[in-house]
Homo-oligomer: A and B are copies of this chain.
């Protein structure tokens, strides 16, 4: 990756393999079992983990729990106001797609048997959007998920030695901007990228999701490999930040 550092600077001065400033604020809410305000630069997502006993009907009696997610954006998260999906009366395709992605990503590190018949819903509400909202959401939601599980453990809802988490998960976007592969695109970069890829990885460096899309020009295998390298590095950095955030003693 070192070679990338020598290339053209990005519009905000970052190196190609550098994420934006990431801030993870735990316990941002008083009511939720776990909550995180995660910021990737100006992108700001509020992740609330709600732990409830019991599971959806289709899972009842199987001794396993459930983790799911709902993603949404406030109307004025973006540069121009968009209509509320509640007012339109239907959820858009993009919202559905991202909600499903976040849910799958978190379930990849969950042992639902160890969770017992309990449900955790992760609400990821974008307060401000500047590119990378889904990857910020996954990265922040993981931390909220950890806190919700520990909260449930402290209340005796999960066994003292149960290990519902089998690992950690983080996500980052990579893309090709002006011909150059870059990490963690902000909105100005995202809107001009030739290729855009979101990668979700576990803390031990394996892939959970790879979603690459050629925005203007189809990409070849060499470029795909370069993007995967970059994402691997970015997820490793984010994993470190998640661990640091979780290491802090937090007073609710």
Contacts and interface: CB of A to CB of B under 8 A. Distances in A.
Interface stretch (A1-9, A24-32, A132-140, A152-160): A24-32
A95 to B, nearest CB: 8
Contacts of A87: 70, 91
A214 B104 CA distance: 9
Interface of A: 29-32, 35, 42, 46, 48, 50, 52, 70, 72, 74-81, 84-97, 99-100, 104, 108, 121, 123, 125, 127-128, 130, 167, 197, 201-202, 205-214, 218-221, 224, 228, 232
- Number of this chain's copies in the assembly equals 6
The secondary-structure label for the interface of chain A is mixed
Contacts of A121: 75, 81
Contacts of A79: 31
B127 A29 contact: yes
Contacts of A92: 96
A14 to B, nearest CB: 18
Given A86-B84, A91-B87, A218 B108 contact: yes
Most buried by B among A42, A86, A206: A86
